[in-house]
Structure 1
Amino acid sequence: MMYGYGTWGVWGWVAMGIVMLLFWGGVAALIVVLVRGARGGWGGGGYYPPAGPSPDDPERILGQRFARGEIDEAEYKARLEALRRRP
């Protein structure tokens, strides 16, 4: 007896439901990827670096060296002036 399930029976309907979920899940994932890519959400073309000095900022490194006592105040001021004069 077929009970109205067609030639594949219940497992055909289960397989069709799984394929339908995978299809619509893929469509939704594609939409999310396209929207985030257009807004630059994943570091794509719209990536902006964080505000403030970078960890490799020369003045910051110079200040850290002065704070650690590696250079004295005269050398700190001379190097800071030289950094600020550069083009």
Structure 2
Amino acid sequence: MMRYWDGHWNTWGMGAGGWLLMLIFWAAIVGVVVWLIAGNIRRRGSPADASALEVLKQRYARGEIDQQEFERKKRDLTQ
């Protein structure tokens, strides 16, 4: 649907300003959705509520520390 407006053909009756505002609106909507999804993924990736003892157990299970270091650090944490 095209209209003749002030000597120019406009689509849907919107000038360049209307299309620019629509583009900014949809860019903002997409930006907010991406920001929310990225924030949700970031929160899931980090164990915020893991205790120090749980982290120590995970490090021992992955082989990052040996048994002596695990026992020593476990003793320090439980005292």
Q: TM-score, normalised by structure 1?
A: 0.44
Higher strand share: 2
- Structure having greater relative contact order (Cα 8 Å, sep ≥ 6): 2
Higher helix share: 2
Q: TM-score, normalised by structure 2?
A: 0.48
Q: Larger Cα Rg: Structure 1 or Structure 2? A: 1
